[in-house]
Structure 1
Amino acid sequence: MTGPIAERSITLTRPSGIQESIRVRVWAPEYRPAVLCWEADVEVTGAGDTDKSHGAGIDAFQALYGALYLIPTMLSRYEAAGRLSWLEEEWIGFPAIDISVP
């Protein structure tokens, strides 16, 4: 696996005022013959924790879309620990994605 294609650092501000960096990274989709599909890895690291997962799909677009879809859920684990922000704004730049069929 090569390096990530996208990376963002967001800030976790704990109730005590201590700030910690949370890093979100996404890798380019790769075809994985062992599972006969495309997968795009995603990782959220920070505050003493690492969560890794991947989006999967029948093509690279579906795998990448799936990886982006996972990010808000992966970040939700930090909600109890404090406030997340990006560029000193409340919005962290990862909107919920609707993957339902129109």
Structure 2
Amino acid sequence: MPDVIAERTLELTLPSGTQESIRVRVWAPEHRPRPFAPFWEADVEVAGAGKTHKTQGVGIDPFHALYSALYLIPAMLVNYEDDGRLSWLDEAWTGFPEFKLTAP
């Protein structure tokens, strides 16, 4: 498995006031050939508060795979919305903007 290239720790504040750390990690894109296409994948993981969600951003080159992985993070963080409030650096946001895909 390739190296982790980025990591961020978020805080999840539960209704009781207790805080849990949520770790977001992205691994370097890796070439993973498939039968009909030479795909690249960048693994991404969100873990903490007793949950772990891992998936891959997929692309036709390393940049495409990395962009896809970053795009997935906000959707993965939704898994914690019912548990409490996520924050980063004592701010009420995670630092992961949602990407809006539009035609050029």
* Corresponding residue of 1:64: 66
* Corresponding residue of 2:17: 17
TM superposition shift of 1:2: 2.9
Structure 1: runs of 5 or more not aligned: none
In the alignment, the residues of structure 1 paired with residue 52 and residue 66 of structure 2 have an alpha-carbon distance, to the nearest angstrom, of 20
Secondary structure, counterpart of 1:5 in structure 2:
strand
Give the TM-score, by structure 1 length: 0.95
* Corresponding residue of 2:44: 42
Structure 2: runs of 5 or more not aligned: none
* Corresponding residue of 2:54: 52
Deviations 1:16-71 (A, max 9, x none): 00000000000011110136200000000000010000110111111000000000
1:59 counterpart letter in structure 2: D
Displaced runs of 4 or more, over 2 A:
98-101
In the alignment, the residues of structure 1 paired with residue 31 and residue 99 of structure 2 have an alpha-carbon distance, to the nearest angstrom, of 23
CA RMSD after TM alignment? 1.1
TM superposition shift of 1:99: 3.3
Report 1:58-97 matches (<5 A): 58-97=60-99
In the alignment, the residues of structure 1 paired with residue 84 and residue 100 of structure 2 have an alpha-carbon distance, to the nearest angstrom, of 26
